[in-house]
Amino acid sequence: MNIISYNLNGLRSAIKKGFIEWLTESNPDIICLQEIKATQNDIDVAAIEALGYHTYWYPAQKKGYSGVAVFSKQLPENVSHGHAYEQSDFEGRVIVLKYKEFTLINAYFPSGTSGEIRQAYKYQWLDEFYEYITELKKTQPNLIVCGDYNICHKAIDIHDPVSNKKSSGFLPEERAWMDKWFDAGFVDSFRVFNDQPHEYSWWSQRAASRERNKGWRIDYISISEGIKARLKSAGILQSVKHSDHCPVTIELS
């Protein structure tokens, strides 16, 4: 089974840049999308369904903002929208699909780059999400958490850790949360196979950052320890360019 996670920074924009053609060629079993900035009614869903996907949507209530979606070739046993935290659910940040062998969470973590108010909300959201996942693990221990986490975990995950040490997305408190996350029984799937620097999933649209590979690794697929034995590969698809992010992927046996 191949699973992809991809922040599209606007699904409609990505479609104009060839997203559907790329999806046809790459043919993942499941693709988790963040920051879709669209509703189901804004998209030619028939073109996606024609590829064999069942589509599940959780847009933000604010038009043209945030939102997540999952396209899956396998029918889930259950789908739930949101995780019962009002502001997060208003912004369309979490969708959960229960399959026979695992539960898939597609999450778009908030950014704090716009100022102190959103940074404070980011910390609140992280605490709420951690609490939610802790409870979920009690009944559904095999979890896959895809998404744009909006945090670089370690210095290896960012092109310039020194100058960005006070930047949202690489703050000590955010990195400590990631420590806690992985200490709680999650595996950073990409780092199981790759311990090299300069492997990024997001680049600023300024100063030719992508061309110069001045990026950040903020997109992750975390898996429960119980799934690790099934992990065959994980990667970052840096050549795919429909967004300021690129897809990240895992393959399970």
pLDDT for position 205: 94
pLDDT tens digits along 2-59: 999 999 999 999 999 999 999 999 999 999 999 999 999 999 999 999 999 999 999 9
pLDDT tens digits along 154-189: 999 999 999 999 999 999 999 999 999 999 999 999
pLDDT for position 179: 98
Percentage of the chain lying above the pLDDT 70 cut: 100
Beta strands, E only, the chain: 2-7, 30-34, 54-58, 68-72, 78-81, 94-98, 103-108, 143-148, 186-188, 202-203, 215-216, 219-224, 231-236, 248-252
pLDDT for position 4: 99
pLDDT tens digits along 64-77: 999 999 999 999 99
Contacts of 45 (CB under 8 A, 6+ apart): 55
The domain locations on the chain are 2-252
Residue whose C-alpha is closest to residue 57's, from 23, 22, 33: 33
pLDDT for position 158: 98
Q: Please tell me what DSSP assigns to residue 79.
A: E
pLDDT for position 17: 98
Give me the mean pLDDT over the 92-118 stretch.
97
Do 73 and 52 touch, CB atoms closer than 8 A?
A: yes
Give the integer Cα–Cα distance in Å for 110 and 96. 17
**Catalytic residues, which ones?**
148
pLDDT tens digits along 187-212: 999 999 999 999 999 999 999 999 99
At the second CATH level, the architecture of 2-252 is: 4-Layer Sandwich (3.60)
**145, two tokens:** 């958490």
Counting every residue written for the chain, the total comes to 253
Strands 94-98, 78-81: pairing is antiparallel
Give the integer Cα–Cα distance in Å for 245 and 57. 20
Contacts of 50 (CB under 8 A, 6+ apart): none
pLDDT for position 102: 98
Indicate the pLDDT class of residue 125, thresholds 50, 70 and 90. very high
Each as own residue / partner, the long-range contacts of residues 117-122 (CB below 8 Å, 24 or more positions apart, any chain) are 119/168, 121/87, 122/150, 122/168, 122/174
Q: What is the average pLDDT score of the chain?
A: 98
Indicate the pLDDT class of residue 138, thresholds 50, 70 and 90. very high
